[in-house]
Amino acid sequence: MSVTISFNNVIKKYNDKPVISGLSLDIKKGEFFTLLGPSGCGKTTLLRMVAGFNSIEGGEITFDDKVMNRITPQHRNIGMVFQNYAIFPNLSVKNNVAFGLKNRKIPKDEIERRVDHILDVVQISQFKNSMPENLSGGQQQRIALARAIVMEPNVLLMDEPLSNLDAKLRVDMREAIKLIQHEVGITTVYVTHDQEEAMAVSDRIAVMNSGVIQQVGTPREIYQRPANIFVSNFIGRTNIVERSLKKVDNRQVLIMDENYQIDLDDITQYAEEIIKVSIRPEEFTISDTSEGMAGVIQHNVFLGINVHYTVQLSNGENVEVTEESTLGEPLEPGTEVKLLVNKEKINLFHYESEKNILEGDSYAK
C-alpha cells in the first residue's frame, strides 16, 4: 500500500541554525524518487525527516494527507535501508528479515512464508540460515532491502545504499534495486551523491544544494535542460563560457568568436546581453571545414570509446571536447582545429540569476 509524500514548507534547524528553510515537494504514489546533491546539501537530513529520526522544526510532511510530524519512526510504517546496511549481527539472515514481522505478532507460518518469498525476490534464499558476518557487502545489502520491503511499508527509504560497495557490484545492485522496486511498487525515496546512479534508478530526481531544491525532473530533463548553472555543472561534465547575444538582421545570434556565430531562432525576448553558455564536451564537434571557433589542442586522453581533448580557444579559454575515437592516432597537442557547437543541445543561462533561458524541449523537434 504505497502513498504520496508531500513536503509543505518544511524547515530543519540544528541548534537554531537553519539547514533547510521552507522546502516544498510532492512525491507521487509508487514513484522512485531520488534526492541528489553534493555532501552536506541536506538530502540525508530530509530523508531522515521522512523517516522520523530527525525532528521537523516547521511546516509539515504528510503521507496521503496524514501529517507525520509527531509520529515516531516506529509508527510511520516505513522501510529503511542504511548506508552501512545496519544488519543485526547477532541474528541470522532469516531472523533479520523476520524481525519486524515478529514485532507485529503475525502468525508463525505466515512469517515463514513471507520471509521465504522475499528472500527469493532479492535472491539470497541460499543464505537463509547464515549469520550476516559471513556474507559479502552486496549480500548484506540484499538482506537490508529484504528486511525493509517484507514489512510492506508505505514508503521505502534508502540512504546511499550502494556507496559502500565496489564499482562493479554497485552497477549490478542498482539494477536489482530498480527491478525489485518496480515489482513491489512502493513509493521510494532514494538518497545519493552519485549522479550516474541517480539517473540509472530514478523515475524523477530532485537536485539539491545548500538545503534548497534546484530542480525536479526526469533524468533526461535534468541532464538536457538543467534549470541553472549548478545543476548543469553537477550533472555530467560541462564547459561554461560567457558569450554575447546579438540581434543581426532581425536574427538572434550567439557570438562564439569573431568568425563563428550561431543562429538561435527560438529566442526572441533576449535582445542583446551577455549570457553564460553551458556546452557539454560531446556537444562540440571538431570541424573538417574552415567554419567554427579557432583553437589549439593542449592534451589528448584516449579512453577507448572516446578521446578527450583540452582545447585552448583563441581568447585563451580552455574547453573540454569529447570525440568518438577513430582508428589511428588522436590529434596531437599543438594541432590547430575549428570547433562546431551543436546548437540544439547547448544551454543558455541568464548572467545574473544563472537560470536557464530555454524552456523545456524548445529545440527538440
Partner 1 sequence: MQNKTAGRKDIWSVITLGILLLYALVLVLPLFTLLKESIFKDGALSFEHFGEFFGKKYYYSTLFNSLKVTVAVTLASLVIATPLAYIMTTFKIKGKLYLQILILISSMAPPFIGAYAWILLMGRNGVVTNFLSDVFHITTPDIYGFSGILIVLTLQLIPLIYMFMMGAFKSIDNSLIEAAESMGYTGFKKVWKVIMPLMVPTILAGSLLVFMRALADFGTPMLIGEGFETLPVLIFNEFTSEMGGNAGFAAAISVIVVVIALTIFLLQKFITNKKSFSMSALHPIKEKKESGIKNILAHLFVYGYLALAILPQLYVVYTAFLKTSGRIFVKGYSLDSFKAAFTRSGDTIVHTFTLGLIALFFVILIAILIAYVTVRRRNAITNGLDIISMVPYIVPGSVLGVALLLGFNNKPFLLSGTATIIIIAFVIRRLPYTIRSSAAIIHQISPSIEEAAASLGASNLKTFFKITLPMMLPGVISGAILSWVTIISELSTSILLYTVNTKTMTIGIYTEVIRGNYGVAAALSTILIAITVISLLIFFKLTGRKEVSL
Minimum CB distance to partner 1, residue 26 (Å): 23
- CB-CB contact of 85 with 31 (8 Å): no
Does the protein bind partner 1 through residue 58 (CB under 8 A)? no
Minimum CB distance to partner 1, residue 127 (Å): 18
Does the protein bind partner 1 through residue 84 (CB under 8 A)? yes
Q: Given the C-alpha cell 523517516, which residue does it identify?
A: 51
Options 71-79, 215-223, 224-232, 243-251: segment touching partner 1 (CB under 8 A): 71-79
User: Torsion angle, CA of 61/228/199/178, rounded to 10 degrees?
Assistant: 10
| The residue type at 328 | G
Torsion sign (Cα): 60, 66, 72, 73: negative
* Interface map 156-175 toward partner 1 (x if CB under 8 A): -x------------------
Options 67-75, 210-218, 252-260, 331-339: segment touching partner 1 (CB under 8 A): 67-75
Does the protein bind partner 1 through residue 198 (CB under 8 A)? no
Minimum CB distance to partner 1, residue 16 (Å): 12
- List, in order, residues 6 or more apart from 138 with CB less than 8 Å away: 165, 169, 172, 173
Options 50-58, 197-205, 226-234, 323-331: segment touching partner 1 (CB under 8 A): 50-58
Does the protein bind partner 1 through residue 99 (CB under 8 A)? yes
Minimum CB distance to partner 1, residue 33 (Å): 18
Q: Given the C-alpha cell 552536506, which residue does it identify?
A: 40
Options 21-29, 78-86, 274-282, 305-313: segment touching partner 1 (CB under 8 A): 78-86
- List, in order, residues 6 or more apart from 35 with CB less than 8 Å away: 43, 46, 47, 189, 190, 191, 192, 205, 206, 208
DSSP 8-state assignment for residue 79: E
Please select the residue that binds partner 1; options are 93, 119, 144, 173, rule is CB under 8 A.
Answer: 144
Minimum CB distance to partner 1, residue 128 (Å): 18
Q: Which residue number, 76 or 193, has a Cβ lying nearer to partner 1?
A: 76
Question: CA-to-CA distance for 68 and 50, rounded, in angstroms?
Answer: 8
Q: Which residue number, 15 or 326, has a Cβ lying nearer to partner 1?
A: 15
Pairing of strands 78-81, 155-159: parallel
Options 48-56, 231-239, 259-267, 340-348: segment touching partner 1 (CB under 8 A): 48-56
Does the protein bind partner 1 through residue 211 (CB under 8 A)? no
DSSP 8-state assignment for residue 331: P
Element (H, E) at 63: strand 58-63
Options 21-29, 68-76, 243-251, 301-309: segment touching partner 1 (CB under 8 A): 68-76
Helix, strand, coil percentages for the chain (3-state, nearest 5): 25, 35, 40
Minimum CB distance to partner 1, residue 22 (Å): 20
What is the DSSP annotation of 174-201? HHHHHHHHHHHT-EEEEEES-HHHHHHH
Options 97-105, 167-175, 254-262, 339-347: segment touching partner 1 (CB under 8 A): 97-105
Element (H, E) at 169: helix 167-184
Minimum CB distance to partner 1, residue 213 (Å): 22
The phi-psi region of residue 123 (left if phi > 0; otherwise alpha if psi is between -120 and 50; otherwise beta) is left
Does the protein bind partner 1 through residue 54 (CB under 8 A)? yes
Please select the residue that binds partner 1; options are 16, 17, 65, 72, rule is CB under 8 A.
Answer: 72
Does the protein bind partner 1 through residue 78 (CB under 8 A)? yes
- Positions in the binding site for partner 1 (CB under 8 A): 14-15, 51-55, 70-80, 82-84, 86-90, 99-100, 103-104, 144, 147-148, 151, 157
